[in-house]
Amino acid sequence: MKRLYRNGQIASEDSSALTRADVLVDGDRIIAVASNIASADDIEVIDCTGRILLPALFDVHVHAREPGREDKETIQTCSEAAINGGITGLVLQPNTTPTIDTAGLVRTVLEIGKAKSRIAIHTTGAITKGRKGEELAAIGAMKKAGAVMLTDNGDPVSNPQLLRIAMEYAKDFDLPIASHCEVKELSASGCMHEGSVSYSLGLPGIPACSEEICLERDIRLAQFTGAHVHIQHVSTAIGMRAIQRAKADGVKVTCEVTPHHLLFNHEDIGSYDTHYKMSPPLRTAQDNAELLQGLIDGVFDVIATDHAPHTEFEKKNDFASAPFGITGLDTALPSLFDAFISKGIFGWDLLVKRYSAEPRRLIKLEPVPIRDGGIAEFIVFNPDRTTTFTREFMKSKSINTPFLNKEVRGMVERVIYLGEELLAR
């Protein structure tokens, strides 16, 4: 049956203005976007008055934990969490057990995705075997098997000569190198941002320069090799400004910012709350402000969650011992709307560009704008409802998030993927 989404306000990456229109869907295609489309007996009409219709989101930095740690998350539960948050495409990271570092493992992950996920699943491949930073993984074979990016995410490639060679191969195979920037010797046993809060809590800190030094090194190697480097989860204003300068110099560098590095800082840790322990760590309120301005100014190419589920048992350890990481797929869109869009800090056009269109372009996919003849892949979002992130609401297998049991403005009401309604509430 055809579906007519009546009287919605359509968001796009190209305009800050919302366009009021009806959207008629037949099969996996949008066959008309216009005012006052006529209904018929074979058309289901869905009233979208007061709702925002926006292209479905796409997340390029997700840890599904499968294979190896299915107690934390599976590809299936990860994809259901994504749907819950209005996301219809994921790029999975390779720090699984075993590491995704061969063509066979790339194929295995993609096959699980096809069998278990209702949305598009893509995967990265590791830069080095076992992510040990000692020997290159089979880059060409992983590309042929379907890997869309290379990364040792969770760890840097500490050996600059090995990373240089990896970049040269990656350039030949037209693959971005996604870089987790950290100097391990500087981070040492740190568990949060090194600063006034770490001193007051008596916790070992991770200095901002640990990230910034590695970031500048990796940019310089990309400049030398001509490779495309994608800097993951930037957390410091100094690091962001280094990327901005490199872009101005013509280096092929892209970068991402996470919702949690925009929304939280080290002061939120309070009395050793492990829900705020993540890597790279939450920095300062000044970093929050400057990263937000960088997103508005276009320094950041994409928003990505770095969805990193952990069991409740693990996160209940003391702060120094608990694992780094926060879940984000269920919570990203409503929390960004509540904190920024609803307050007029930035508009729907920025969100669509940075969390839908550009993430797809990063891995050479076409965006999914709401237009005549386009793929029917969009969200119906109600800005007047609220979302409470209870255990029952969340679809991720893990609940390691500061948003647990918190209420925010806005709700994802419907998710349409290839014309099929995956979520309707």
Cβ 289 vs Cβ 345: under 8 Å: no
User: Last residue of a domain, which of 362, 393, 410?
Assistant: 362
- Cα 210 versus chain centre, distance: 22
The CATH number that applies at residue 404 is 2.30.40.10
Is 197 a domain residue? yes
Q: Taking 90 as the threshold, does the pLDDT of residue 139 lie above it?
A: yes
Whether 35 maps to a domain, the answer reads: yes
Number of H helices, E strands in the chain: 14, 18
Q: Is residue 344 part of a domain?
A: yes
Rounded mean pLDDT, 369-373: 97
Phi, psi of 365 (to 5 degrees): -105, 155
Instruction: Say if strands 120-123 and 150-151 run parallel, antiparallel, or are unpaired.
Output: unpaired
State the CB neighbour count (10 A cutoff) for residue 108: 16
Identify the band that residue 1 occupies on the pLDDT scale cut at 50, 70 and 90: confident
pLDDT digits (tens, 9 = 90+) for 218-267: 999 999 999 999 999 999 999 999 999 999 999 999 999 999 999 999 99
Mean pLDDT calculated for residue range 392-418 = 97
- Going by C-alpha positions, the residue among 53, 52, 70 that lies closest to residue 109 is 70
pLDDT of amino acid 125: 98
- What's the pLDDT band for 63 if we cut at 50, 70, 90? very high
pLDDT digits (tens, 9 = 90+) for 318-339: 999 999 999 999 999 999 999 9
Q: Are 303 and 259 in contact (CB under 8 A)?
A: yes
CA distance 89 to 235: 24
Residues 6+ apart with CB under 8 A from 115: none
Q: Is 18 exposed, middle or buried (0-12, 13-18, 19+ CB in 10 A)?
A: middle
Note the helical H segments in 249-337: 259-263, 285-297, 312-315, 332-336
Tell the residue number behind the tokens 């063509």, with chain if given.
103
- The rounded distance, in Å, linking the Cα atoms of 173 and 260 is 33
Whether 242 and 133 map to the same domain: the answer is yes
Instruction: Give the model's confidence band at 169: pLDDT under 50 very low, under 70 low, under 90 confident, else very high.
Output: very high
Within 8 A by CB and 6+ apart from 148, the residues are 91, 122, 123, 124, 175, 363, 364
What's the mean per-residue pLDDT of the chain?
Answer: 98
pLDDT score for 383:
98
Secondary structure element (H or E) that encloses residue 360, with its range: helix 358-362
For residues 163 and 287, membership in a common domain is answered with yes
Over residues 49-72, mean pLDDT: 98
Q: Is residue 391 one of the residues assigned to a domain?
A: yes
Phi-psi region of 193 (alpha: psi -120 to 50; beta: other; left: phi over 0): beta
> Which residue, of 336, 362, 388, is where some domain finishes?
362
The answer for residues whose C-beta is within 8 angstroms of residue 395's C-beta and 6 or more apart is: 77, 80, 81, 83, 84, 330
237-248 and 285-297 helices cross at what angle (nearest 10)? 30
Domain membership of residue 367 (yes or no) is no
Residue 74 has pLDDT above 90, yes or no: yes
- CATH number (domain holding residue 223): 3.20.20.140
**CA dist., res. 201 & res. 318, Å (int):** 12
My answer on whether 100 and 123 are in the same domain is yes
Q: Are residues 11 and 137 in the same domain?
A: no
50 has a pLDDT exceeding 90: yes
Is-catalytic flag, 306?
Answer: yes
User: What does the pLDDT look like over 232-246, one tens digit per residue?
Assistant: 999 999 999 999 999
Domain that holds residue 13: 2-53+372-424
pLDDT in tens, 82-129: 999 999 999 999 999 999 999 999 999 999 999 999 999 999 999 999
Residue 351 lies in a domain: yes
pLDDT at position 140: 97
Question: Which of 342, 362, 382 is at the close of a domain?
Answer: 362
pLDDT average, residue stretch 35-51? 95
Instruction: State yes or no: pLDDT of 387 exceeds 90.
Output: yes
47 plus 62 within the same structural domain:
no
Mean pLDDT of the region 207-220: 98
* N- to C-terminal Cα separation, the chain: 19
Residues 321 and 400 in one domain: no
**Contact status, residue 170 vs residue 176, Cβ threshold 8 Å:** yes
Number of domains in the chain: 2
Residues 16 and 65 in one domain: no
Q: Are residues 227 and 209 in the same domain?
A: yes
Neighbouring C-beta atoms of residue 34, cutoff 10 Å: 11
**Same domain, yes or no, for 212 and 347?**
yes
Q: Give the DSSP H/E element, type plus range, for residue 219.
A: helix 208-225
| Residue 228 in domain | yes
| CA–CA separation, 285 and 265 (whole Å) | 6
Strands (E), 41-163: 43-47, 52-55, 57-62, 87-92, 120-123, 150-151
| pLDDT (0 to 100) of residue 182 | 98
Residue 20 lies in a domain: yes
> Do 166 and 252 belong together in one domain?
yes
Are residues 386 and 332 both part of a single domain? no
In a shared domain, residues 189 and 77: yes
Tokens coding 345: 């800090």
List 306, 330, 338, 349, catalytic entry:
306
Mean pLDDT across the stretch 384-410?
97
pLDDT digits (tens, 9 = 90+) for 275-311: 999 999 999 999 999 999 999 999 999 999 999 999 9
CB proximity list for 413: less than 8 A, separation 6 or greater? 51, 380, 381, 382, 385, 423, 424, 425
Q: Quickly state the pLDDT bin for 359 (edges 50, 70, 90).
A: very high
Quick check: 273 pLDDT over 90?
yes
